[in-house]
Structure 1
Amino acid sequence: MNFVTFTTEQGQMWGLAKSGGVVALSALFPDYASLRDVIAAGHLAEVGEAGADLPVTHPDGQYRLDPPVPNPGKILCVGVNFPDRNEEYRDGAQNAGYMSLFPRFAQGFVGHGAPLVRPPESEQLDYEGEIAVIIGRPGRRITEAEALDHIAGLTICNEGTIRDWLRHGKFNVTQGKNWDRSGAMGPWMVPFTDPAQILDVRIETRVNGELRQSDRTGRMLHPVARQIAYISTFCRLEPGDIIVTGTPTGAGARFDPPIWLRPGDEVEITVEGIGTLQNGVCDE
């Protein structure tokens, strides 16, 4: 089942994606104002079963897909998490023993089908195809052995970046990672039911049909279970929190000269078992 958050003329709703459209479930479950509330209640399976046989309420063309969890408590991203990825930063620094982390804000993301926005301050808009993990069970100091039990679902992330703004500060990348509508999540959230969904699946990114990134999660330097365990050491993870788990090598900054995204480009990120996130590019 593919859970979605979407917007119509009547406002934002949540439900299920089906062939030909979506099924709105918000009115059937008024106790849950958002998909995050369903996740927190631990009722994804029950809600999904209730909507499984219902007909499409909003055909394609009558809604806009939003990020599946539009109101996460926090979004934490893992950087430099695939072999050779460190070279893309071209700063001469070596990989550290611990994972690199940085926050992103929800307003930096659009949903499937909406364009990424290039700001007037920089032409260096870059793509990063990743898997995003949505937390289902709260926890602090979660062990690696128990970490995957805390996942509610998975989605795809284009962790769009304004490259030259990554170096405005000495010790952080927050500025380059948080431009409004510079990234995307979607098209939906797939419930997490099996470790095989995350342990060794392929991530591929294409720009205008050209394959730019391709790797498997089994090659992550810091696997997802370790990410959850490490992050939960210093902060409590809550239902609806999102961990963006790292991108393979092959971003536009990798090329010589770099290839930045431009208006009219189409970016597609495909992850086995989840689907394809597609976004165009426009100028602000």
Structure 2
Amino acid sequence: MKLVRHGAAGAERPGLLDSAGRVRDLGAHVADIAREVLRPEAMAALAALDPESLPLVEGHPQRDLRLGPCVGHVGKFIGVGLNYADHAAEAGMDLPQEPILFTKWTSSIAGPDDPLSLPPGSTATDWEVELGIVIGAGGRDIDMADALRHVAGYCVVNDISERDWQLRGGGTWDKGKGYDGFGRIGPWLVSADEIPAPHELRLWLEVDGHRYQQGSTATMVFGPAELVAYCSRFATLHPGDIIATGTPPGVGMGQKPPVYLRPGQIMRLGIDGLGVQTQHVTGG
């Protein structure tokens, strides 16, 4: 099951993709793809619906029908740093002994294909394709053996980062990770039953057709189950919370010399089975 939020920014409606890739409206069944709707029993009720019985939404998703962030009203947006050994090496940082956690402010969340406006004066805005874990059954101190049972589904995340603010301005990483539009989620939330091996997914990212990132979640230092369990040690996880699990090598900061985003460029990124995002870069 692929769940979406469609329509104008701030007024998205819930929907799901049918077998033809068209959006069917879920407004008669749920208010949004958010919070309690992501609990296991609610997800099971949505999965039991016949998509063909739902109203067909006009337009084609990601063409003439805008898709918003695939999860609404996110409570916590947790990032994981340096979770691929080869990415840590390109960043010149030691391999972590425990997951490195940071927060992306929820105001950074934007639709998968909305234009990216560079922060004023930024010269070091970078890209990071990542697997996103969306929590379904909340909990605290979750056992790793049970962790994936707490997952509603998975999505593509672009953890956009301003490197000057993240690394060279002092303080924590959060300000370099939290600018408006720096948290792209979607195009859809794919239910966990459709992704039986989240630790074996191919990720990629291109800028203007040049492929910078190419990797697999198989090379994560800490896998999805371990990350869910670890994050739940420090905060109760709630339905709709998102964990961005880290990025493979190929970020702009790791190029020699470094390469960063410029107005007029186009980013495309995707993960096998989870869809593709496209972002036009503006501003700066």
Given the two structures, how large is their TM-score scaled by the length of structure 1? 0.91
> 8 Å contact 1:81–1:220 — kept in the other structure?
yes
Q: 1:43 maps to which residue?
A: 42
CA distance in 2, matches of 1:274, 1:9: 21
Report the alpha carbon displacement of residue 42 of structure 1 after superposing the two structures with TM.
2.9
Identify if the C-alpha distance between structure 1 residues 136 and 115 changes in structure 2 by more than 3 Å, giving closer, same or farther.
Answer: same
CA distance in 2, matches of 1:215, 1:36: 31
Q: Identify unmatched segments of 5+ residues in structure 1.
A: none
Residue identity (%) = 32
**RMSD across aligned positions (CA):** 2.1
Q: 2:234 maps to which residue?
A: 234
Pairs within 5 Å for 1:104-123: 104-123=104-123
CA distance in 2, matches of 1:268, 1:49: 33
Report the alpha carbon displacement of residue 187 of structure 1 after superposing the two structures with TM.
0.4
Q: 2:73 maps to which residue?
A: 71
Moved more, 225-234 or 267-276: 267-276
CA distance in 2, matches of 1:150, 1:56: 31
Pairs within 5 Å for 1:174-213: 174-193=174-193, 196-213=196-213
> 8 Å contact 1:8–1:62 — kept in the other structure?
no
Report the alpha carbon displacement of residue 122 of structure 1 after superposing the two structures with TM.
0.9
Report the alpha carbon displacement of residue 268 of structure 1 after superposing the two structures with TM.
1.5
CA distance in 2, matches of 1:127, 1:9: 23
Identify if the C-alpha distance between structure 1 residues 260 and 169 changes in structure 2 by more than 3 Å, giving closer, same or farther.
Answer: closer
CA distance in 1, matches of 2:40, 2:34: 10
CA deviations over 1:127-174 (Å, ceiling 9, x no partner): 100010000001111111111110001100010001110125545201
Q: 2:99 maps to which residue?
A: 99
Identify if the C-alpha distance between structure 1 residues 221 and 261 changes in structure 2 by more than 3 Å, giving closer, same or farther.
Answer: same
Amino acid at match of 1:136: G
Q: 1:29 maps to which residue?
A: 29
Amino acid at match of 1:140: R
> 8 Å contact 1:16–1:51 — kept in the other structure?
no
Amino acid at match of 2:186: G
Name the structure where strand makes up a greater proportion of residues.
Answer: 1
CA distance in 1, matches of 2:99, 2:10: 43
Pairs within 5 Å for 1:234-253: 234-253=234-253
CA distance in 1, matches of 2:9, 2:96: 48
- Give secondary structure in 2 for the equivalent of 1:145: helix
Q: Identify unmatched segments of 5+ residues in structure 2.
A: none
Amino acid at match of 1:191: S
CA distance in 1, matches of 2:102, 2:41: 28
Q: 1:16 maps to which residue?
A: 16
CA distance in 2, matches of 1:172, 1:10: 29
Given the two structures, how large is their TM-score scaled by the length of structure 2? 0.91
